[in-house]
Structure 1
Amino acid sequence: MFEVLVYVYENYWQGDACPELRQLGRKLTAAGFDAEEIQAALVWLEGLNTAAQVTQIGLPAKAPSGTAKSLSTPSASSGIQPQSAHSLRVYSIAEQTHLGAQSLGFVSFLETAGVLPPHMREIVIDRAMAAPGEPVTLDDLKIIVLMVYWSFGEEPDALVLDELCDDTEFRVAH
């Protein structure tokens, strides 16, 4: 499934260029992917699309430039409340087991670095829980993070992109 997701990301990195799921399935078949992998990837992508759309609807609108919008005062129309600086995400036993310590540590690293906001973190966790494998490998989690950025039409910072795409197996420690 992750090979299919990488192919989709590499070929449709501009989210608006990605065809509907049905047409995407035909293109993936033409590219030579296995039908089971394609089906698993399409189901996974449909869940990602749904989560991203629901989240974007619930996010507070960005204030026009020149006006200040208080993040501490939730609006009545906002479905998602901003996370307090003092809040703490507690992972369930199922999440800890399925994601593993290495993947959870990487999610924590991205959060601490300020590049994975809480609403995107929750989608990463949701999509990782929907992914096969236990625990989810770090490489697979990095693909999930890239796909979540892609679903929001955002490109990660260059250093984050390097961390997500870099093969750390051959790094030399200094």
Structure 2
Amino acid sequence: MFDILMYLFENYIHSEAEVMVDHDILTDELTRAGFHQEEIYKALTWLEKLAALQDTDAYPYFTRVGRKSVRVYTEEETKLLDIECRGFLMFLEQVNVLDFTTREMVIDRVMELDTNYFSMEDLKWVVLMVLFNVPGKETAYSQMEDLIFDEQEGPLH
């Protein structure tokens, strides 16, 4: 499923190509690209839920302004987000790429991925996808994009 999300992000969203709205056409294209129907459905559902996170009625806890605090992760979250990933999320908050709301959106989307293995590289892409979908976070998106694509200068953290 994550491969499909990456494919869509790189070919439509990140490349600024026109995003197809018709699910049937998009599903056909993804099938021709070699993806399985069930995985395509999961990826499209994941993207729809990402868009739904903007609905403050459905997710009112995302609208609270978080003060400086430490995020305590559940056991399920720590299984998927290792210490390196959690440290990276904290780093992104400290440099103001993420705030309380976008951090929670990232964690929400990570936990909805259908995977038993999740890497730091995967996390960077989820952060980028979330920031791209949040109005008003263009600067944070640009900063994250710089972090991802400016690999020549060494590690991100």
TM-score bracket, shorter-length normalisation: 0.7 to 0.9
The aligned residue for residue 67 of structure 2 is 84
SS of 1:32 mapped into structure 2:
coil
| TM-score of the superposed pair, with normalisation by structure 1 | 0.70
Distance 1:138 1:97, change over 3 A: same
User: Residues 106 and 127 of structure 2 are in contact (CA less than 8 Å); yes or no, is this contact kept in structure 1?
Assistant: yes
The aligned residue for residue 39 of structure 2 is 37
Unaligned runs of 5+ in 2: none
AA at the equivalent of 2:131: Y
- Within-5 A mapping of 1:136-151: 136-151=118-133
The aligned residue for residue 54 of structure 1 is 55
Query: Deviation of residue 132 (structure 1)?
Result: 3.0
Query: Deviation of residue 124 (structure 1)?
Result: 0.3
User: Residues 64 and 101 of structure 2 are in contact (CA less than 8 Å); yes or no, is this contact kept in structure 1?
Assistant: no
Instruction: Tell me, yes or no, if structure 1 residue 101 matches structure 2 residue 103.
Output: no
SS of 1:5 mapped into structure 2:
helix
In the alignment of these two chains, the number of paired residues is 151
SS of 2:13 mapped into structure 1:
coil
User: Residues 4 and 40 of structure 2 are in contact (CA less than 8 Å); yes or no, is this contact kept in structure 1?
Assistant: yes
Unaligned runs of 5+ in 1: 60-78
AA at the equivalent of 1:20: V
SS of 1:12 mapped into structure 2:
helix
Q: Percent identity?
A: 36
AA at the equivalent of 1:13: I
AA at the equivalent of 2:34: G
Q: Distance in 1 between matches of 2:114 and 2:20?
A: 24
> Which structure carries more relative contact order (alpha carbon 8 Å, separation 6+)?
1
Q: Per-residue CA shift, 1:85-136, capped at 9, x if unaligned? A: 3x33211122112211111111111111111111111010011111133342
Larger Rg: 1
The aligned residue for residue 6 of structure 2 is 6
User: Residues 123 and 148 of structure 1 are in contact (CA less than 8 Å); yes or no, is this contact kept in structure 2?
Assistant: yes
Mean Cα displacement is larger for which, 114-123 or 33-42?
33-42
Query: Deviation of residue 56 (structure 1)?
Result: 9.3
Match of residue 101, structure 2, among 119, 132, 145: 119
AA at the equivalent of 2:106: V
**Pairwise CA RMSD:** 3.2
Q: Distance in 2 between matches of 1:56 and 1:167?
A: 39
Mean Cα displacement is larger for which, 117-126 or 32-41?
32-41
Mean Cα displacement is larger for which, 125-134 or 115-124?
125-134
